Structure 1
Amino acid sequence: MNLKRTLCCFTYLSLSIGSVNLQAQTLQPALQNIREVTSGNMEYSSPVWSPDGQKLLFTDHHNDALYITEIAGNGSVQKIKEGQGIGYKARWTPDSKSVIFYEQQTTVTGSRALVEKSIDVKGGRERVLSEDKSATANRSFSARKSPSLKVYINPETLKLEARVGNGTPWVITPEEGQFYSPLISPDGKKVVVSEGANMYLYSIDGKGKRKNLGVGLPSSWLPDGSGILTFEDESKDGHEISGSELYHIAISNSAKTKLTNTLDRIEMWADVSPDGKKIAFSDEKTGKIYVADLKIKK
């Protein structure tokens, strides 16, 4: 199968446990009771917990569909929408009843627009939330506690920017570079963003110095903001992903813990449940979605 690739600069990395700097730490995260929550022969990726903790949203390896499954169900999967790229960074509404996604549209005159929509999980009713026809249109992200705050990559400068509502934007990342994959903290005050193969922690207000969190791709914050989940993929030929493991990074001291160490799975795109007690992740080798208990001893 052709696995979904991350950015080229990252897939060329060849990592091993011996090359990772695992720091002494007070937190001791670990995964327990790993179990598959999808059934059938379809291949899925990038799970996202619903705010009520009862369902998972995920897409396929090409981000071209939206699926959901009930955690307490029998593993059956419901497709709620398909379309080019709609699965990328799709998210739940706060009431867990709808999913928000972006859709590229072309008008009869040939102009393009980035349309933000929601779709009801039951019934499939769609609503248009916003429409952006500007040259700098891009997906924006917000924190649950600060929904009016929008963080996004400017497609012209490739810098990370923010704005409140329709207010004047400001630059978060003054350094030169190509930034991607921003991840906002639950309180809306910090953001982790990738540049090259490394992850950096910034204050969203754009003040202070950035903090280097090391190599990896960020995928989820813990609900209390104490840490993030990341993954590190590798490629033997520079084209297809041959391996990947999940890690926990403590924000306070950048201490890093390896959570998985398997040869039969390619673990990526982990997401922490709203109560912080479980994670969901995708195996990019088989296309299965797994859930595991997250234990953090203090």
Structure 2
Amino acid sequence: MKKRILSAVLTLTMAVGLLAGCGGSKTASWTVTCPWAPSGVAAMVSQKAASMSTNYSKNIILVADAIKGDAATVNTWVADTKADDTELVFAGEGLFSITPILDPAKLQFTYDDFVFVENLYSSVFVMSADASLNINGMSDLETYLAGADEISVAANGATSSEAFLAAALFGSMGYGEKLKITPYSSAAEAAQAVARGETSFAVSHQSQILETFQQGGVTIVCAFDGEDIADGEFAGVEGVGKYGYPYFRNRCFVLARSGTKAETVSELKKLYDDILADAEMASWLGDTMMLEVDTMSEQDVQDHIQNVQNIVNEYYDIVVN
């Protein structure tokens, strides 16, 4: 009798344990693919976010991975993933606004192949100038342009976000026909070209030109934003939007595969939002990377994509020709 009672108790205990195990959440590692330079801004922010993921979730661990290749990397990612795979990927205005207009054959995907999770950061690009030109703001720039035969600008690629920002600025100022965009293989290299005297100007992330600015090799002419830069080393640098010139911020969208369960996407979004709300993360982004926390909605994303497409269409001839 005692044996039968003991057996029944053990059976019940095992059943309860199995039920608890089935109902419990499993920890999943989510690989976050950055399709740009492994040492670049997006890859660095991804690594930082991944290192903080276990502070805010017991169910999701972010694992940062950088595979340089831009459209080709994302093509492969789309081909190799399906709904609910534990995979995330980055994309931005380059892949959703610029390449579809300039070279759609490069893309084997559309925005509909993804579901938006969160925007990792916003970067306000700045334009620097060779220090010998003594251009310290928009007024100085106007004076310089009036007498310039050619306007040479270094950019990360011939048809990059930086290239279109330069085209939009000089085109809207009436000097598009004088613009010469000199492409470089990385954003950091382009940022340094102006200090080496290879170009008169460069468009770059703020962090990529900071050291050269501190050493006196360049001046900072303007920021591609609606208002002046408010904080940091470049506080007070004028935003081109104040003068009615077009602009956009550089953004980094975190995306899952389309069809991924809504509750999973919500959990991922909450994780990223919690990480981005962390004081350590916000401070590191602002002070070290010179970026901004800029969480977005799906409508914000669509508005950004459309704004950049409008700029690309308007200044296409300046960049391509």
TM-score tier by shorter-chain length is: under 0.3
TM-score (norm 1): 0.26
Whose helix proportion is higher, 1 or 2?
2
TM-score (norm 2): 0.25
Whose strand proportion is higher, 1 or 2?
1
